Amino acid sequence: MNKIPRSVIAIFVVLFTILADQVLKIWVKTNMALYESIHITDWFQIQFAENNGMAFGIEVIDKLFLTLFRIVAVCFIVYYLHKIVKQKYNYGYVVCIALILAGAFGNIVDCVFYGEIFSESTRIQVAEFVPVGEGYGTWLHGRVVDMFYFPLFKGSFPSWIPFWGGQDFTFFNAIFNIADAAISVGIVVLLLFYRKTLSYSLQEEKNEEKI
């Protein structure tokens, strides 16, 4: 029995991840008010949040620059994924790169389009689809929709810890989406199981540039 071509697996992973990510984001965006929460268990909630920054709500650089950087990064990953598929790299390695690509592209969709096609989400107002140009923002300035919240446990820092002593904390406190999860899983699996493959691939890239 012939194995499924790497190209088919890569395309399936990318398209399935992007579709699942966008379907869930659109549902949350059009059914929940900002910061509204759906209690699943004590350690898992669906909580609607938006951010202008990188994965897990980190905001350290300008929004427009970040969006353009994401687009450039996705173009590079598409090229790289095509290359490793063509060179018949390990299936697991191909899936990892496909997950990273899908996650990056999923968040780009929010940044590029959401500001133009959705009304503002607030604590008292659920967003709606609007005609292009009547949304809460402009092209490339949309906010990324997050929803997964895992407050695994809560506690307080010991009093002897400087600055934070006695303060309450929640672990894990970040709110994220399917795209963030895809990027994180892809990177973690790469580092755990495919470091040699990654190193070899990057070395091959350098050798080709020298030719």
- Short-list 120, 111, 108, 180, CA closest to 143: 111
110 is catalytic: no
Hey, where are the domains in the chain? 6-154+167-210
One-letter identity of residue 60: V
Which is catalytic among the residues 21, 42, 168, 180?
Answer: 180
Give pLDDT < 70 ranges for the chain.
Answer: 1-2, 53-61, 205-211
Tens of pLDDT along 26-46?
999 999 999 999 999 989 999
62 is catalytic: no
pTM for the structure as a whole? 0.89
pLDDT of the residue at 66: 82
* Environment class of 80 (CB within 10 Å of its CB; exposed 0-12, middle 13-18, buried 19+): middle
Tens of pLDDT along 102-130?
999 999 999 999 999 999 999 999 999 99
Which is catalytic among the residues 21, 62, 146, 168?
Answer: 146
